[in-house]
Amino acid sequence: MKIVIVGAGYVGLVSGICFSDFGHNVVCVEKDERKLAMLAKGEIPIYEPGLDALLAKNITAGRIKFTNDLATSMEGADAVFIAVGTPTRRGDGHADLTYVFQTAKEIADTMHSGIVVVTKSTVPVGTNREIARIISKQRPGVEFHTASNPEFLREGSAIEDFMRPDRVVIGVESAHGEEVLRRIYRPLNLRETPILATDLETAEIIKYAANAFLATKITFINEIADLCEKVGGDVQQVAKGMGMDKRIGGRFLHAGPGYGGSCFPKDTLALARTGQEVDAVQSIVETVIRANNERKLAMAGKVIAACGGSVKGKRIAILGVTFKPDTDDMRDAPSLVIIPQLRKAGAEMVLCDPQGHMESATMFPDETWADNAYDAAKNADAVVVITEWNAFRGLDLARLKAGMSEAIFVDLRNIYTYREMDAADFQYFPIGKRQRKST
C-alpha cells in the first residue's frame, strides 16, 4: 500500500516508520526545513529509543521517504494520514485545529478519486466530519473516504506500543475506508490485535475518554498517596492491592508528582472544554485537571517541608526534568512548576537529566547543570528525584551522601525504599508513605 503521512511530529514519525516496517511504501510530508534536513539524513529530531535503527532499516529498504512536496507524494496513494499537531489554543483550553484544517485543504487540492483521508491527530468530536465538509466543498464530486484512527502510543515505548497495541480503533463511514485501514494494519493480525471498527464520532471520543480515564487513575492514586502520608499506609501497597482486582488493574497507579506530557494535560482540557460547550459537563475530568495542577505546586511545598520549612540559600540537586523517562519531551513536565517554585523560595539548584538538558536549557535560565547525579549532589543540602530515569534508580547512596552538605532525599517517584535510605543514613521523603524519622 502507498501511504502518505502529513506531519513528522511524534505521532506522524512513529506511525510512518512503523508502517514502512510493516512493508508499506510511506512518504512523510513535513514543512519544517530543519526537521526535514535531519530526516533526509536518517537522523531523528526527537528522542525515542529504537526509532533511529528502525528508520535506517526502512530507508535502506527504500520503503520510506521524507519531503515537503505533498502534491507529488499523493500520486497513487491509497491513504493519507493527517498527523499534524493539535496544541491547546491559548486562552480557552480548546484544541487548536488550524493545522488540521489547513492540511485538509491541502489534501483536497492534491487528492485523486478514491483516496482514504485518515486523521491520526487527536481531534475533538466532530472534527472528522468538518474535515469531510472542507474537502467536499473544495473538490465537489471527487470521491474520498473519511476515517479516524486515533493513536495510543506512549513516548519512550512508542515502537512497542505501535507494533503491539492493545487495540486499533478505526472510525469509518464506508466499506472501502474500513477495508483500506484493515489492510494497512494487517501485519498486526498475526498478533491477533483486536481492531474496533466504529463510526467517526465514537472513535474520536474513545481517544479522549481513554486518556482522561488514565489521567483520572493517576490523579486518584495521587490523592490516596496524600491520605497515606497523613494517616499511615503505603500507597505502593495500596495500589498493588487495588490493582489485583481485575476490574481495576494495576497499571497507571503509580503515585508521583502529577501527570505531564504532550497528551494528558492537553486532552483533558480539550475534553472538559467540549463538555462545557455542549452542556455535558465533564465534572470528574475538570476536577482531575485542577487537582493535577495543584499537585505540581504542592510538590514544591513537599520539598520545602523536607528541608525543614525553608529552602532559602539551600542547594538542591534535581534528578530528572523531562515529564517522564526515555524522552526529551518537556511539555507540561512537573519540573516546569516545581523548579521555578523552589527558585522563588530561595533555593539554588543543580539539574541533571539524561535527555532534558538540550530541550530545557532556556526553560531554567537560572539553574546550572551537572552531567551525573553525583556531580549534581556535590555540596547539596537535598536531592530531589522528579523523573525516574534508570540512571537514578541504582545510585551508590554512600557516594552520593559523601559529597553532600546535608543528607535529605526527596523521592517524588518512589524509586527507593526506607530500608535502603535508612542504611545509607539519608533523611528520606517518599510519596504516599507516612513520614518517619530515618536513622
Distance CA 73, CA 118 (A): 16
Closest approach of ligand UDX to the CB of residue 175, in Å: 28
For this structure, is 352 an active site residue? no
* Alpha-carbon distances, residue 46 vs 12, 32, 38, 81 (angstroms): 12, 14, 10, 20
Among 7, 9, 171, 256, indicate the residue that binds ligand UDX (CB under 6 A): 256
CB of 221 to ligand UDX, least distance (A): 7
Q: Nearest CA to 119 among 94, 159, 162, 151?
A: 151
Least separation, in Å, of the C-beta of 413 and ligand UDX?
8
Region 371-430 residues binding ligand UDX, contact defined as CB under 6 A = none
Angstrom distance (rounded) from CA 108 to CA 142: 9
With b for 16 or more beta-carbon neighbours within 10 A and e for fewer, the 2-33 pattern comes to: ebbbbbbbbbbbbbbbbbbbbebbbbbbbeee
Residue type, 62: G
> Between residues 11 and 80, which has the closer beta carbon with respect to ligand UDX?
11
| Distance in Å, CB of 235 to ligand UDX, minimum | 11
Report the site for ligand UDX in 258-287 (rule: CB under 6 A). 259-264
Stretch that binds ligand UDX, among 140-148, 253-261, 269-277, 311-319 (CB under 6 A): 253-261
Decide: is 253 part of the binding site for ligand UDX (CB under 6 A). Answer: yes
Given the complex with ligand UDX, which of 1 and 163 has the nearer CB atom?
A: 163
> What is the footprint of ligand UDX within residues 175-214 (CB under 6 A)?
211, 214
Residue choice 36, 131, 218, 339 for contact with ligand UDX (CB under 6 A): 218
Q: Footprint of ligand UDX on residues 223-252 (CB under 6 A)?
A: 252
Site string for ligand UDX, 28-67 (x = CB under 6 A): ----------------------------------------
Joined together, the cell numbers standing for residue 427 give 533523611
Q: Which is nearer to ligand UDX, 73 or 335 (CB)?
A: 335
Q: Are 77 and 4 in contact (CB under 8 A)?
A: yes
How far apart CA 411 and CA 60 sit, in angstroms, is 44
**The C-alpha cell of 290 is what?**
485542577
CA–CA dist 219, 124 (Å, integer):
23
Applying CB under 6 A, among 19, 22, 323, 428 the residue interacting with ligand UDX is 323
Residue 152 found at the interface with ligand UDX (CB under 6 A): yes
Contact window for ligand UDX (CB under 6 A) among 148-156, 181-189, 359-367, 420-428: 148-156
CB nearer to ligand UDX: give 152 or 428.
152
Q: Determine, following the binding rule CB under 6 A, whether residue 431 of this chain makes contact with ligand UDX.
A: no
Q: Binders of ligand UDX: how many residues, by CB under 6 A? A: 20
C-alpha cell at 388: 525516574
Output 322 or 438, the one with its CB closest to ligand UDX.
Answer: 322
Per-position b or e across 412-439, b if 16+ CB within 10 A of its CB: bbbbbeeeebeebebbbbbbbbeeeebe
C-beta nearest to ligand UDX: residue? 263
Supply the minimum distance, in Å, between the C-beta of residue 260 and ligand UDX.
4
d(C-alpha 207, C-alpha 214), whole Å: 11
For ligand UDX, which is the closer residue by CB, 251 or 399? 251
Catalytic residue among 18, 28, 228, 263: 263
Binding site for ligand UDX (CB under 6 A): 151-155, 211, 214, 218, 252-254, 256, 259-264, 323-324
- Residues serving a catalytic function are 263
